[in-house]
Amino acid sequence: DAGVIQSPRHEVTEMGQEVTLRCKPISGHDYLFWYRQTMMRGLELLIYFNNNVPIDDSGMPEDRFSAKMPNASFSTLKIQPSEPRDSAVYFCASSLARLAGERTDTQYFGPGTRLTVL
């Protein structure tokens, strides 16, 4: 398996532009998570999905952020309009809650997208 795939790996944009980050989870996983990592705030959970349904989006900082998961193999995180304070590394992770009836919970992270908003 190729692991969790994220694109782009780096994104530099200007304030006010729309940014779309993409994630392909590990095949068969039923949970997908979006995290944001900064020096100041550490690793923050933004939103997570179970079987393509959003479960908790309380970590989404404001209405400028939105996330979708149209199918089991693809998710997007969109920022519109982007601001300099959105600059961070955004990680997508996936997990399989149960394997053969037992909990697994291990989250596998993608390589991240480093976003810079000028």
Partner 1 sequence: GENVEQHPSTLSVQEGDSAVIKCTYSDSASNYFPWYKQELGKRPQLIIDIRSNVGEKKDQRIAVTLNKTAKHFSLHITETQPEDSAVYFCAASSDRGSTLGRLYFGRGTQLTVWP
State the residues that interact with partner 1 by CB under 8 A: 30-31, 33, 42-43, 45, 48, 50, 55-56, 91, 95, 97, 103, 105-112
Classify residue 76 by its DSSP letter: E
**82 vs 95, beta carbon nearer partner 1:** 95
Cβ contact 15:58 at 8 Å: no
Q: The tokens 């996330």 sit on which residue?
A: 67
Minimum separation from the CB atom of position 1 to partner 1 (A) = 15
State how far the Cα of 66 lies from the Cα of 84, in Å rounded to an integer.
17
Nearer Cβ to partner 1, position 10 or 85? 10
Residue 72 CB, shortest distance to partner 1, in Å, is: 15
Give whichever of 85 and 98 is closer to partner 1, judged by the CB atom: 98
Q: Toward partner 1, which CB reaches closer, 83 or 105? A: 105
Minimum separation from the CB atom of position 16 to partner 1 (A):
28
CB of 115 to partner 1, least distance (A): 15
Where are the strands (E) in 40-112, listed by range?
A: 42-50, 53-56, 65-71, 74-79, 88-95, 98-99, 102-103, 108-109
Q: Is the Cβ–Cβ distance between 24 and 44 less than 8 Å?
A: no
